[in-house]
């Protein structure tokens, strides 16, 4: 793991966003794995800004998002699909047919999981996977569990995740289930770009970087991937014992 610590979220967004932009410039048909949450927003701002300046085209890029709520219409304002449209996809020239999401409302979840795995294979595998982290160490919606997961599956969200994400739901109750890529699918990405900011993530970041590799902290599996770049602000890095 390579770890970089910055003062501001904007600097993190520039550094993480540059990895995606440079990769797409060199490989216009690259497959990118994208994440939701507030932490990735400055990265998406940077990418949209580079597109607006004419420095990059995303017309050939394929995208795969990590997860989506169940029992929520795709177009609902709190769906991850809507989040990505608002924060990135509607701001760049990615082609709608190249945007891939798990269907949280698929009637047959195992068929949906197989469909997504095949779509990723057909795209040549994910080149760069973007990840944030939950306060409990979750990545995508892989919650602390007794074992590491494999392919995409339907997950019951934990109380910690429901508490953290409920603030975004003002008209309906937050869904209790989601479809998420599994740890196995995430770990097959060729490169992983990870971001975390704020003191609320410090404990999870410490467990991810310095703790035992255990499904009790799903993010700890990243210690075993050979190409992970971690971007933190000072608050998120405060448990690591590095001088700030
Ligand atoms: C969500 C997503 C994760 C994300 C996490 C943290 O639940 N499924 O992919 O990393 O929450 O989000 P935030 O960046 O808003 O703290």
Cα 177 to middle of ligand 1, angstroms: 15
Strand order in the sheet with 2-6: 2-6, 228-233, 191-196, 128-131, 31-34, 62-65, 99-100
Q: What is the pLDDT of residue 242?
A: 74
Ligand 1 atom closest to the Cα of residue 66 is: 9
Query: pTM (2 decimals)?
Result: 0.96
- Of the listed 9, 45, 50, 67, which one is catalytic? 67
Cα 132 to middle of ligand 1, angstroms: 6
Average pLDDT of adjacent 10-residue blocks, the chain of 244 residues: 97 98 98 97 98 98 98 96 98 98 97 97 97 96 95 95 92 95 98 98 98 98 98 97 68
Ligand 1 atom closest to the Cα of residue 198 is: 16
Ligand 1 atom closest to the Cα of residue 140 is: 9
Q: What is the pLDDT of residue 243?
A: 60
- CA proximity to 161, closest of 69, 35, 71, 44: 69
Cα 84 to middle of ligand 1, angstroms: 13
Nearest residue CA, atom 9 of ligand 1? 140
């Amino acid at each position: 793991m390579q770890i970089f610590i910055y003062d501001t979220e904007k600097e993190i967004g520039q550094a993480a966003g540059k990895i995606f932009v440079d990769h797409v410039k060199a490989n216009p048909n690259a497959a990118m794995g994208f994440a939701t949450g507030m932490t990735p927003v400055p990265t998406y701002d940077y990418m949209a800004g580079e597109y607006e300046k004419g420095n990059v085209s995303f017309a050939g890029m394929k995208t795969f998002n990590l997860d989506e709520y169940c029992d929520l219409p795709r177009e609902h304002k709190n769906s991850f699909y809507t989040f990505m449209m608002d924060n990135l996809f509607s701001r760049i020239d990615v082609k709608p047919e190249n945007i891939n999401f798990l269907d949280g409302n698929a009637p047959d979840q195992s068929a949906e999981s197989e469909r997504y795995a095949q779509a990723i294979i057909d795209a040549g595998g994910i080149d760069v996977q973007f990840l944030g982290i939950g306060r409990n160490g979750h990545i995508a919606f892989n919650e602390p569990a007794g074992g590491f997961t494999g392919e995409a599956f339907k997950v019951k969200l934990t109380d910690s995740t429901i508490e953290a994400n409920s603030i975004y739901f003002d008209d309906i109750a937050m869904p209790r289930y989601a479809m998420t890529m599994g740890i196995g699918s995430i770990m097959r990405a060729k490169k992983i770009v990870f971001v975390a900011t704020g003191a609320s993530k410090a404990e999870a970041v410490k467990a991810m970087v310095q703790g035992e590799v255990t499904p009790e902290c799903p993010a700890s599996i990243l210690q075993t991937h050979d190409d992970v770049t971690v971007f933190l602000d000072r608050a998120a890095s405060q448990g690591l014992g590095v001088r700030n």
